[in-house]
């Protein structure tokens, strides 16, 4: 019997290793010509004794990635699933931004899985945010309530420069108020808004929750995330595990499903040149800050 136990554990380790290697191969081989470029924001995969995965858990995670999350990437904006049985059961989900195409969603899921496999191997819980999607896994069931940690706040380092800052803040608050009402009323828990502040300034806002959240929890989450944005900056975003908010002075989402007001001036395109950003990630055992000269929200942060 002892020999059988040792042999079984060795087999599990081998299967886990092969699954891990196959995931890397799968992710790399999937990045073909039809893949859309996606943009990493931040991640958290705390490395501690309490967060160390067993071999069986690692094997279940590999199956969850390769047979479930990966396969569903192009079929739905949101998907949550499980693999295995307690005490090694794995819970996983992805959420793509509500406006992205199926191809972009699939590309983001592929990239996020590839990243988590390479960066967070051996951990029981992790989360990564991309501009286009979120992917996370855990050894505990997701509550689908308002989760405040870990969290990422990112802001354009340039200060806002408008002729009427008080009026701008009022318009921004009103935009988020309307947006949150629309997001919590829809099945996808996603909404955007466009407001013409003046002849030269157009405001774009976005909010999204995990679709399984209740209307109240989604509202609480979006309210909190909106209040924590840096309104004195030209742009800012706040990302929780359960929701996120963002505002910019340029169009950063696909607005085919929203009727924008009559433009006073041509719609502003995303900044073609790199923008200096401030970034901060909270949660777990500490925090890490950083600055970077990169395109909006490509700053990469890791929490240990």
For the chain, the structural domain boundaries read: 2-138, 151-303
CA atoms of 72 and 83, how far apart (whole Å): 15
Q: Is residue 241 within 8 Å of residue 247, measured between CB atoms?
A: no
pLDDT recorded at residue 22: 46
* Predicted TM-score of the model (pTM): 0.78
Average pLDDT over residues 298-302: 37
Q: Where are the alpha helices (DSSP H) in 161-256?
A: 165-185, 215-227
* Partner residues linked to 280 by β-bridges: 153, 289
Backbone φ and ψ for 65, nearest 5 degrees, come out as: -65, -50
Per CATH, the number for 2-138 is 3.30.430.20
pLDDT digits (tens, 9 = 90+) for 20-37: 444 444 444 444 446 789
Is pLDDT above 60 for 4?
no
Write out the E strands in 178-297: 190-196, 202-209, 236-239, 243-248, 275-282, 288-294
pLDDT digits (tens, 9 = 90+) for 129-163: 999 999 999 999 998 999 999 999 999 989 998 88
CA atoms of 83 and 92, how far apart (whole Å): 8
Q: Which residue, among 265, 296, 256, 3, has the nearest Cα to 130 in the 3D structure?
A: 296
Domain 151-303 has CATH 3.30.430.20: yes
């Amino acid at each position: 019997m002892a020999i059988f136990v040792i042999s079984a554990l060795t087999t599990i380790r081998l299967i886990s290793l092969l699954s891990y290697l196959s995931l890397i191969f799968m992710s790399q081989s999937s990045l073909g010509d039809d893949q859309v470029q996606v943009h990493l924001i931040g991640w958290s995969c705390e490395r501690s004794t309490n967060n160390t995965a067993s071999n069986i858990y690692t094997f279940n995670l590999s199956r969850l990635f390769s047979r479930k999350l990966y396969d569903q990437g192009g079929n739905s904006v949101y998907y949550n699933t499980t693999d295995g049985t307690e005490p090694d059961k794995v819970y996983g989900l992805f959420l793509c931004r509500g406006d992205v195409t199926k191809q972009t969603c699939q590309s983001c899921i592929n990239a996020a899985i590839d990243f988590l496999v390479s960066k967070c191997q051996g951990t029981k819980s992790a989360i990564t945010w991309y501009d286009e999607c979120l992917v996370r896994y855990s050894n505990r069931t997701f509550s689908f309530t308002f989760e405040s940690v870990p969290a990422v706040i990112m802001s354009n380092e340039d200060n806002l420069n408008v002729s009427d800052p008080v009026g701008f803040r009022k318009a921004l608050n009103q935009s988020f108020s309307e947006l949150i009402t629309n997001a919590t009323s829809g099945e996808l828990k996603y909404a955007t808004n466009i407001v013409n502040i003046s002849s030269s300034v157009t405001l774009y806002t976005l909010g999204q929750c995990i679709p399984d959240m209740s209307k109240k929890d989604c509202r609480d989450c979006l309210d909190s995330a909106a209040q924590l944005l840096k309104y004195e900056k030209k742009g800012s975003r706040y990302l929780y595990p359960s929701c996120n908010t963002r505002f910019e002075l340029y169009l950063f989402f696909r607005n085919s499903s929203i009727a924008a007001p009559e433009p006073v001036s041509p719609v502003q395109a995303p900044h073609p040149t790199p923008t200096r950003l401030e970034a901060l990630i909270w949660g777990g055992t500490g925090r890490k800050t950083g600055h970077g000269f990169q395109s909006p929200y490509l700053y990469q942060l890791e929490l240990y």
